[in-house]
Each structure stands twice: as structure tokens, then as C-alpha cells.
Copies of this chain bind each other. A is one copy, B any other.
């Protein structure tokens, strides 16, 4: 069994109360007493029993990571198919661990999942929740309901219409800037027909598209809808769309809304007999180092997942005052543009 505060108290010839005061850094205990107790605590590696603490109203050192699975019915989530998602999760775990917090992962799809989640908050089982995958506008109702209940939460890449409140902070990427940087770079290389492989209907995709459009317009190229194709961030559709964009040199450069689609564009270009970057230039978005291990040294716009995760954890722990945080986007050189 574990040693309890009671026993520590006995060993230090004080009462549990005093031990508790030391543990919780109360001011009203003399340095000498504190020191004596601390020594015993360390000697016996005493740590308060978390459940007992929670029961008295303190929150657990636990952050719940809520992953949306809008895949009705099946419980399996598709996060594992998205390298960006998986990296984010990995970084969140690391960041939380650094602050002495544990991440509990919960994938939510059905209504019962939500009530289970709600219970965790109500039970103070968790200090806060970090929500990812709630990127579509239609998912914001759910988020807003939780916000209304006053739970402490952080939402990464929220869809449109998220409430502003004191108990929620939204973390966004500089998506518009990302689109603008990428497109500007391609234009500066002398490309005239710069195409965009857009993402889906989520906000980040729309903003990346806006950045692209702004760069095109500022360069006097106007907005040519035939140079824009709407994908879904996945490879298969992107490949088909890229073929359309590149056939007959309709476009000579492509900015894709993520790296996965950029690689599809590269494959399409190669299959059409073009060389990269001599004939066709490609720029991705996110920068996924993992792709380098399979031979794709993509030029991309880097969104620092590590930074984002750190922001999220800090915000979850109340260490960030701003309720809207932006994760920087920056050019990442590669071999494809």
C-alpha cells in the first residue's frame, strides 16, 4: 500500500492538516516545520492520493483529449490515417507530460460518448479538455453546448461559429498567410498559371484558399476558378484533380492545401511525364517530416505542430490569457519548387 498523509503526519509529529498545508503550499506554516515535513515526504516518496483529492474538489492532473469521430456508427476513427493528426496527438502527450499532466484520449461520436465526457468534467476527473477534429461548422453546436456548461476547454482549428467565452480558447493556424506565402513564392519564380488544390469545407481550407486568391489578385492574375479544384485533404481525389489541373500544362505550379495532396499532385505530374520542379512546381502545406522517410522532399509551408501542442496545453492549464491563439506558418524549402 501507499503511504498516506496520516502516516507522514505521525512521522513528523504534526497533524494531517499541517501536512496538507505543506503539500498545497499554504503560507501559514513556518519554514522550519515545512522543511521537516518536506524531508519526510521526500524520503517516503509520498504523493497525495489523486482520487481523494478530487473528492474534495480539486481537479485531477488530467487533460482529456477529445477527438471527434463523425463517422456515424462505427467507433473506429480515422485519425490514424492523418499524419498531421497523429503528430498533433504525439506532441500533445509530450507537452502535457512536461507539465506533469497525463492525457486521456477519448474519441467521441455517439451521444453516450458526450455524456461520458460530460461526466468526466463534472467529476473533476479532468482539469480541461482539448478538442480536435471539430473543424466543421456543423460540429460547433456540440462544442458550444460544452462551452455553455462552463467546462474549461481548448479547441484546435475550430469551425465557424464557436462562441467566445472565458472558459474556451481557440487555436488557429495562420492559414491565410500560409496560402499567401506559398502562392507568392510560386509567382515570384515566374509561374503564371498557379493552381490550387483546395481542402474541404473546413475553415482552415477556406483560409488557405483565401490566401492563395489574395496572392493571385495582388499579382494581377485575378481569380481564375478553373485553376482551383476542391478536394478533401486526401490523396485519391487529389490525384484526379491534379491530373485535370496539369494536363496540357493548364497549370505549371500547384499549391496544395496539405502535404498529402501535394504528393498526389507530384505523382500526377510524374505520370503525365513532367519533371519536378523543372516543368511543374509543387508546394504543400503543414510540412510533414515523415514524408521525407519515403523519399518526398516536399517544399511546404510549415505549421509547427509542436508549438501548437504546447499552446494547447498551456491554454488548457490556464497559462495563456489570450482566448484566441495563432500558430505561425512559415516557408519550408524543399526539392519541389
Which residues of A does B touch, CB under 8 Å? Answer: 1-2, 45, 47, 49-52, 54-55, 60, 62, 64, 67, 75-77, 79-81, 83, 86-87, 89-91, 93-94, 97-98, 100, 102-107, 113, 115-116, 119-120, 122-125, 234-236, 260, 263, 267, 289-291, 293-296, 306
Q: Smallest Cβ distance from A330 to chain B, in angstroms?
A: 20
Q: Smallest Cβ distance from A2 to chain B, in angstroms?
A: 5
Given A234-B293, A294-B296: A90 and B77 interface contact (C-beta under 8 Å): yes
Q: Which residue of B lies closest to A58 (CB)?
A: B51
Complex CA gap A62/B120 in Å reads: 12
Complex CA gap A52/B295 in Å reads: 53
Q: Which residue of B lies closest to A55 (CB)?
A: B51
Chain B hits for A123, CB < 8 A? 2, 49-51
Q: Which residue of B lies closest to A106 (CB)?
A: B102
Q: Smallest Cβ distance from A259 to chain B, in angstroms?
A: 9
Complex CA gap A307/B16 in Å reads: 49
A115-B45 in contact (CB<8A): yes
Chain B hits for A125, CB < 8 A? 50-51
Q: Which residue of B lies closest to A291 (CB)?
A: B294
Complex CA gap A250/B235 in Å reads: 36
Q: Smallest Cβ distance from A236 to chain B, in angstroms?
A: 8
Complex CA gap A64/B102 in Å reads: 9
A103-B102 in contact (CB<8A): no
A1-B122 in contact (CB<8A): yes
Q: Smallest Cβ distance from A126 to chain B, in angstroms?
A: 10
Query: Which of B60, B94, B122 meets A75, CB within 8 Å?
Result: B94
